[in-house]
Amino acid sequence: MTDRASNPITVPGTDQGAGCEPSSASKVPPPHSWFTPREVAKQRRVRVEKVMTWIRSGELEAVNHASSTLAAPRWKISVESLARFDGARSSRLLVSVSSRRTRRGKGIEVKEFFR
């Protein structure tokens, strides 16, 4: 990135220019990949209260973006959290329960009527 005089602009405290890529250590998704509970509810066609229940129960991971922990929470949900939520609730993860066979106890006689 350059200013009007075509001189490169550097970020204070670093040797890198402002146009450099963010470090790979930064795990924060881009702003467009965060959703509010209202947006998630609209996508899923459920009530906002249902999304808030998922957040409170821990089923759906959300981050509080409020300016203070004393303020009302401003939840944001990442795309990755939604993907994990969908994966956890997917029907393909359900293990089919095999029918349990009952064993005949010893000492029970079976009468054979036809031979």
The 10s digit of each residue's pLDDT in 14-30 is 454 455 555 555 566 56
**Residue 61 covered by a domain:** yes
Per the structure, the complete domain to which residue 78 belongs is given by 31-88
Domain total in the chain: 1
In a domain, 35, yes or no: yes
Q: Is 107 left (phi over 0), alpha (psi -120 to 50) or beta?
A: left
pLDDT tens across 67-110, in order? 998 999 999 999 999 999 999 988 875 566 666 666 656 667 77
The verdict on residue 75 lying in a domain is yes
Angle between helices 48-57 and 37-44 (to 10 degrees): 110
Rounded to two decimals, the pTM is 0.54
Q: Is residue 77 part of a domain?
A: yes
First-last CA distance in the chain: 95
In a domain, residue 50? The reply is yes
pLDDT tens digits, 27-64: 665 666 899 999 999 999 999 999 999 999 999 999 99
